[in-house]
Amino acid sequence: MSFLRSTACLAAAVFAIVGPVALDLPTAVPVGHAEPNAGPNAGPATCPYQVSTPPAVDSSEVPQTGNPPMPLAVPPKPVGGAALNSCGIVTAPDTPPVPGDLSAEAWLVADLNSGAVIAARDPHGRHRPASIIKVLLAMASINTLNLNKSVAGTAEDAAAEGTKVGVHEAAHTLSTNYCTGC
């Protein structure tokens, strides 16, 4: 059951970060309606990132030479239907209220079996991908690793740049802990 739950959470994370446009989902995905007044997470009346990404936050995101590439054209019909053209909160009929304390600027939750959108916020916004590589690596790991295998950390692992999720020399942990961040 926890494997299915982990897979469902990772699938939701991928949809939230990558969005349906990057995954080239079919336009026939059943969707809900846009909530015009969804509270603190409703977003602005216009979609600031519908055409291009937010400004760079540091020099690592700025092209070194030349001009930055032009943004891709916005499709005339949004993938998933007109309701997903909103940058506010979109919910399927009979969806419980969305929690009011969500801080993510964009996200999407879809039914794992049908692909139907349950709820979303700015689903077609052009946000920076953040940690999509981490999500994709976790998905691939869950599908290919023996999750019950004990793995020993090495000095090289401990010295690697980035998040180490508790990895240090001589530490032993299960593969499943690396996949779930525990």
What pLDDT digit, counting tens, does each position of 160-177 carry? 877 666 788 888 888 888
Q: What pTM value is reported for the model?
A: 0.48
Closest to 21 in 3D by CA, of 102, 129, 97, 98? 129
Closest to 19 in 3D by CA, of 170, 135, 124? 124
What pLDDT digit, counting tens, does each position of 85-141 carry? 888 899 999 999 999 888 888 888 888 788 888 999 998 888 876 666 677 777 788
Residue 99, amino acid: P
- The burial class, CB within 10 Å (0-12 / 13-18 / 19+), for 29 is middle
pLDDT at 41 over 70: no
Average pLDDT over residues 138-149: 85
pLDDT at 82 over 60: yes
Mean pLDDT of the chain: 72
